[in-house]
Structure 1
Amino acid sequence: MTILVKVTLALLLFLCLLNMPYGYYELVRFIAFVGFGFLGHKANQKDKSEQVFIYIALALLFQPFYKIALGREIWNMVDVVVGIGLIISIFIKKNR
């Protein structure tokens, strides 16, 4: 289940690089908030405190209630870095 959430979040974040309607970005913020909260909860169940911290920080960054204005270019970089990090985390987990 966590792999599906990570892949879905990564795809949604990569699609943010395209010129999408503003409603899409709001939807992505809400889905990312819920998704990272879920991943944080799963990491907490496995006693992986460093992952819990990362996922909760990402949930707060993407939360839809108070917009964090970083500018389009910085948000694009954040989306790419987080998306790549999610994909890498899938393969790191498989190898262990």
Structure 2
Amino acid sequence: MNKIIKISLAILFFICLLDMPYGYFQLVRFLALIGFGFLAYQANQQSKRTEMFIYGALALLFQPFFKITLGREIWNAVDVIVGFGLLLSLFQKEKNA
């Protein structure tokens, strides 16, 4: 399930680079809040505190209720960085502790 969420969010973020209507960005912010919230919850259940913090911070960054205005260029950079980060996290090896 986590892989599906990460791939879906990455695709949504990359589509944000296109000239989309404002409603699309609102939808992405809402879906990102839900997706990152779920990923943070899963990381917490697996005692992965660093991942939990990162996903929680991303949920707060993308949440649609109190918008953070960064400008189109900065949001595009954030979308690309987060999208690639999500895809790279798919290849992260599990630590056998």
Whether these two folds match at TM > 0.5 is yes
- CA spacing shift, 1:11–1:31, aligned 2, 3 Å: same
TM-score, structure 1 length as denominator?
Answer: 0.96
- For 1:66, what is the secondary structure of its paired residue? coil
State the partner residue of 2:30.
30
State the partner residue of 2:73.
73
Structure 1 residues 1-96: aligned runs within 5 Å: 1-93=1-93
Give distance in 1, aligned partners of 2:39 and 2:51. Answer: 9
Give distance in 1, aligned partners of 2:59 and 2:51. Answer: 12
- CA spacing shift, 1:20–1:95, aligned 2, 3 Å: farther
Give distance in 2, aligned partners of 1:29 and 1:60. Answer: 10
- For 1:91, what is the secondary structure of its paired residue? coil
- CA spacing shift, 1:95–1:11, aligned 2, 3 Å: farther
Counterpart residue identity of residue 61, structure 2: L
Count how many residue pairs are aligned between Structure 1 and Structure 2.
Answer: 96
Structure 1 stretches of 4+ with a deviation exceeding 2 A read 93-96
- For 2:68, what is the secondary structure of its paired residue? coil
Counterpart residue identity of residue 77, structure 2: M
- Structure 1's unaligned 5+ residue stretches are none
- Structure 2's unaligned 5+ residue stretches are none
**1:92 offset after TM fit, Å?**
1.1
* Structure (1/2) with the larger helix percentage: 1
Give distance in 1, aligned partners of 2:69 and 2:54. Answer: 20
Cα root mean square deviation, aligned:
1.4
